C-alpha cells in the first residue's frame, strides 16, 4: 500500500511513517515545504502524482491558545485543508485518515464521549477542528476521522516532556491542573492504529485514545513516579491557572464501535515513551 503522510517532521507524522514502514508499506512523507495542504492545486497535483492508496493527515494547527488570537489562520489548516485532502482523495479513490481531537466536545458530560455524541467545542481550536471533520464528511466518501486526545511522543513538544524538563531544572514541586480529565495517548501507540484504519479501510468517526483516564495532575504524578524524579505535584484548579483558550473539563473518549483499534492503557504508553527517550533524562 502507498501511504502519504502529511505534516512530516511533526510528532505524530514521524511515528505514522515509521509504523507504515515497519509493515512494508511504501511511505511518502511530505512536510509543509513540500506540500501546502491549504493550496488546492498543490494538493491535487501531489495526490495525482504520488497515487497513494491511503493518506494520513497529520498536518494541523496544534497551538490551542494561539488559535484564540489567530482563529482564521487555524481554520485554514484545521478546517479547510482536510476538506481539500478529502476531495482529492475521493477523486483518486484513496482513503483519507484525518486526525481530530477531544476538544470538539464541551467536556460537561459525566461519562466518556462516544462517536455519536453531540459536539460543542469551547475554544477556537475545537471549532476549527470540528470544521475539518465536517469538511471531510462532506467530501462524498466515508473517509476516517480519528479523534484522539492528550497526545505525547518523542519527536515533539508535549506535556510529558515539559514535566520532565521542569524536574530536570531542579524543581521539587510543580503546580498542575487537577480539574481537567482526559485520556493521555502515546503517539507510538496511536500511529500503528492509524495504519490499521488504513489497512482495514475503515470510515466514519472513530475514537482512539490510550485506555483509561486521569487528570493533568495525576498524569504529572505518574510521570515523576515512573521516571523516579524527586518532584511532587501540587494540584490546582483551572481558575488558578488561566489560559487564553477554555478547556473541556472532562473530555474522555471511548468508542461505541466494535471495529475500532484499541490502545493499551495510558500508563503503558507513558512507560514506552520514557523508555524511548530515557537516554539523558534527569533522575
Q: Are 130 and 119 in contact (CB under 8 A)?
A: yes
**CA dist 7 → 60, 104, 148, 201 (Å):** 7, 21, 17, 21
Instruction: Mark residue 96 as left, alpha or beta (left: phi above 0; alpha: psi -120 to 50; beta: remaining).
Output: beta
DSSP 157-223: --HHHHHHHHHHTT-SEEEEE-S-EE--EEHHHHHHHHHHHHHTT--EEEE---BS-EEHHHHHHHH
For residue 34, the 8-state DSSP code is T
H runs (alpha helix) in the chain: 11-22, 40-50, 66-69, 71-75, 81-91, 124-137, 159-168, 187-199, 216-227, 266-276
| CA nearest to 103, candidates 155, 167, 149, 56 | 149
| CA nearest to 4, candidates 100, 133, 92 | 92
d(CA 46, CA 43): 5
Q: Catalytic site residues?
A: 125
Q: Are 212 and 262 in contact (CB under 8 A)?
A: no
Give the three-state DSSP class for 66.
Answer: helix
Amino acid at each position: 500500500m502507498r501511504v502519504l503522510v502529511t505534516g512530516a517532521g511533526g510528532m505524530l507524522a514521524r511515528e505514522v511513517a515509521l509504523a507504515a514502514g515497519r509493515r512494508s508499506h511504501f511511505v511518502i512523507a511530505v512536510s509543509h515545504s513540500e506540500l501546502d495542504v491549504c493550496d488546492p492545486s498543490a494538493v491535487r497535483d501531489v495526490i495525482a502524482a504520488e497515487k497513494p492508496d491511503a493518506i494520513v493527515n497529520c498536518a494541523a494547527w496544534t497551538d490551542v491558545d494561539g488559535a484564540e488570537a489567530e482563529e482564521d489562520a487555524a481554520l485554514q489548516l484545521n478546517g479547510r485543508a482536510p476538506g481539500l485532502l478529502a476531495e482529492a482523495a475521493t477523486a483518486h479513490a484513496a482513503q483519507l485518515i484525518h486526525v481530530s481531537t477531544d476538544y470538539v466536545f464541551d467536556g460537561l458530560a459525566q461519562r466518556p464521549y462516544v462517536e455519536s455524541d453531540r459536539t460543542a467545542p469551547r475554544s477556537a481550536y475545537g471549532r476549527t477542528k470540528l470544521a475539518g471533520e465536517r469538511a471531510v464528511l462532506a467530501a462524498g466518501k466515508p473517509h476516517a476521522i480519528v479523534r484522539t486526545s492528550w497526545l505525547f511522543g518523542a519527536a515533539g513538544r508535549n506535556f510529558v516532556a515539559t514535566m520532565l524538563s521542569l524536574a530536570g531544572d531542579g524543581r521539587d514541586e510543580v503546580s498542575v491542573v487537577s480539574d481537567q480529565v482526559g485520556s493521555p495517548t502515546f503517539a507510538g501507540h496511536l500511529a500503528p492504529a492509524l495504519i490499521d484504519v488504513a489497512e482495514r479501510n475503515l470510515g466514519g468517526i472513530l475514537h482512539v485514545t490510550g485506555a483509561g483516564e486521569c487528570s493533568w495532575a495525576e498524569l504529572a504524578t505518574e510521570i515523576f513516579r515512573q521516571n523516579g524524579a524527586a518532584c511532587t505535584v501540587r494540584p490546582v484548579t483551572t481558575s488558578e491557572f488561566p489560559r487564553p483558550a477554555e478547556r473541556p473539563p472532562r473530555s474522555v473518549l471511548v468508542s461505541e464501535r466494535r471495529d475500532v483499534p484499541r490502545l493499551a492503557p495510558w500508563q503503558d504508553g507513558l512507560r514506552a515513551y520514557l523508555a524511548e527517550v530515557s537516554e539523558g533524562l534527569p533522575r
